[in-house]
Amino acid sequence: MQNQIPTLYLGSFNSEQYWREIEVSKLPAIADLQADTIVSVMDELGFLFCNSSNDILITRLPMDDAHKQYLWELGFSFVNNGLPLMRDESELSKSIEKLLIKTENYEYFQDLTSSSSEFSPYSVLPSTNEFCKNYQLLNPHPNIKVVQKVNSKLFSHTLSKRLFEDTVGELIYSANELERKGNQFLEHSSFLIKDGFGVSGKGNVLVSSPQILKRIVKYIAKQESTGQETRFLLEPFLDKQIDFSCQFEIGSKGQVNIKSIQKMQNAGFAFSGIQTAEPDFQAKLDRLGYFAQVEAIAAALYQDSYFGPVCLDSMVLKDGKIVPVVEINARKSMGLINHYIDRFLSKFSRQGCLMFFSLGLTYPVTFSEIIDKMRQENILFLRDKPNGILPLSSQTLDLNWKLYKDRNYKTYKGRLYVSIVSDDEDNKALILTKMNKIFTDLGIQKFN
């Protein structure tokens, strides 16, 4: 159905970076410029939220022409910018809203968005209010202080403890406290240290020995000596069976709309794949009272003045117990993206599996080359052949090569986000085998 007023969609998929206070100590982590570069252009996945040919998706870089043409042929509808917002590495750390406020092509983007007053961001950021004023957009979103508060894992833990008596974990506020309570945890099991705003593999450290704990305590104490504050959550490493998430929306008057349950496949602490949970699993959650818990969590968030999209990460332990709150992500999410994929696929009576291929390029390979090979191998999802691989991103493939080719890296990291659409596991395995052959033929390394 055509919207009367076009909606503007955009977002930074590394929202936590902008919510995090700069004066707070950090856990040890390996800097990865190439991974950060890929995340910066994941915003092209936002085309899935558009539902009108007038809806506008602004991305850091214009989407690949071959990709847009393919998506339009499938029936997706959206307008995308033709000029870039990011030119080099120096602009990686800026949110897309900041880039739009400062862009040298301000008049072009003003004109592009002039027909729209509705704005649906991936998340509310510190720059959202200023951006809306600059582009004359309505800003019916919660206050940024509220958004920062409810997205912290420290808030998730405190809320869970208030609502559910058996919540495990401890908040700590110094390196000394980390050492003392960490050693207490290690008497029973390994444990996790969680940063308040860690995400997808960053900001979580598994501590399995006193030696590891000692190194981390020293690392944190050094930051405290320069005036940094410490705030972490410690949790026992739980014996989980299933990671899943609940996507819901809290309306401006507190009404709750539960949209989907998504089962997660994780590699370590990072996302690697998502599928909509089967009806039997959702019925089991209902019987165990999970949806009543979701309603209670939503009511508490609204009481704290938050409304908008929420992704609630939960888990089922091997003993069958549900942990309703692993963390609260008060924003859109990869789970919500998969829900929108399945909403599109429902017209073909299909469901997909959202995943990505982690790739290594040693010379330039274009998205067009890959999609042409997929057509030849008969594994490209098409309207008249609704089975195969539906590519969801293109710039994530070769941006590192484009930006850093003068640096002579041994391998240039790439990622291709896709939905695997198949009738059964055997067919899925065959599709993936053919896709792996395409990567091999094109000289692309595959790491997952």
Q: Is the pLDDT of residue 296 over 50?
A: yes
Asked if 324 and 248 sit in the same domain, the reply is yes
Tens of pLDDT, residues 40-70: 999 999 999 999 999 999 999 999 999 999 9
Tens of pLDDT, residues 198-218: 765 678 999 999 999 999 999
Asked if 117 and 190 sit in the same domain, the reply is no
Asked if 327 and 255 sit in the same domain, the reply is yes
Longest dimension (CA), the chain: 64
Asked if 386 and 424 sit in the same domain, the reply is yes
**What pLDDT, on a 0 to 100 scale, did the predictor assign at position 3?**
46
Q: Residue 20, SS3? A: coil
Tens of pLDDT, residues 387-424: 999 999 999 999 999 999 999 899 999 999 999 999 88
Q: Which residue has the higher pLDDT, 206 or 269?
A: 206
Chain Cα centroid distance, residue 287:
29
**Which residue range(s) make up the domain with 312?**
239-334
Tens of pLDDT, residues 145-202: 999 999 999 999 999 999 998 899 999 999 999 999 999 999 999 999 999 997 656 7
Q: Is the pLDDT of residue 271 over 60?
A: no
**Residue at a domain's end among 236, 252, 279:** 236
Q: Residue 35, SS3? A: helix
Q: Residue 198, SS3? A: strand
> How many structural domains compose the chain?
4
Over its C-alpha atoms, the chain yields an Rg (Å, rounded) of 22
Half-sphere exposure for 375 (CA within 13 Å, toward CB): 11
CATH number at residue 271: 3.30.470.20
Round to whole Å and give the CA distance between 394 and 247.
26
What does the DSSP assignment read for 403-423? HHGGG--S-EEEEEEEEEE-S
**What pLDDT, on a 0 to 100 scale, did the predictor assign at position 270?**
54
**What pLDDT, on a 0 to 100 scale, did the predictor assign at position 90?**
87
Query: In the structure encoding, which two tokens stand for residue 218, read together?
Result: 């020293």
**Residue at a domain's end among 214, 236, 258:** 236
Q: Is the pLDDT of residue 267 over 90?
A: no
Q: What is the mean pLDDT of the chain?
A: 94
CATH number at residue 355: 3.30.70
Asked if 220 and 308 sit in the same domain, the reply is no
**What pLDDT, on a 0 to 100 scale, did the predictor assign at position 269?**
52
**What pLDDT, on a 0 to 100 scale, did the predictor assign at position 155?**
96
Asked if 232 and 244 sit in the same domain, the reply is no
Q: Give one word for 279, left, alpha or beta, with left for phi > 0 and alpha for psi -120 to 50.
A: alpha
* Confidence at 1, pLDDT banded by 50, 70, 90: very low
Query: In the structure encoding, which two tokens stand for residue 268, read together?
Result: 């370590």
* Number of helical (H) and strand (E) elements in the chain, helices listed first: 16, 17
